[in-house]
Amino acid sequence: MHPLIARLESDLNWPRLHTLEEAEHFTAQPGYHCLFIPGNPHRNLETADAAVILPELRQAFQNVFDCAIVDDTIEAALRETHRALKTPGFLFFRSGTYLGAIEKIRDWDDYLARIPHILSLADA
| pTM > 0.85 | yes
pLDDT tens digit sequence for 3-34: 999 999 999 999 999 999 999 999 999 999 99
DSSP H or E segment with residue 35? strand 32-37
Kindly list the domain boundaries of the chain, sorted by start residue. Answer: 3-123
Peptide bond into 88 cis (omega under 30): yes
- Inform me whether the pLDDT recorded for 120 exceeds 90: yes
Are 66 and 113 spatial neighbours (Cβ–Cβ below 8 Å)? no
Out of 1.10.10.10, 1.10.3720.10, 3.40.30.10, 3.40.50.1240, the CATH code matching 3-123 is 3.40.30.10
124 pLDDT band (50/70/90 cuts)?
low
Cβ-defined contacts of 40-46 (< 8 Å, 24+)? 40/72, 40/87, 41/2, 41/5, 44/87, 44/88, 46/87, 46/88, 46/104, 46/105
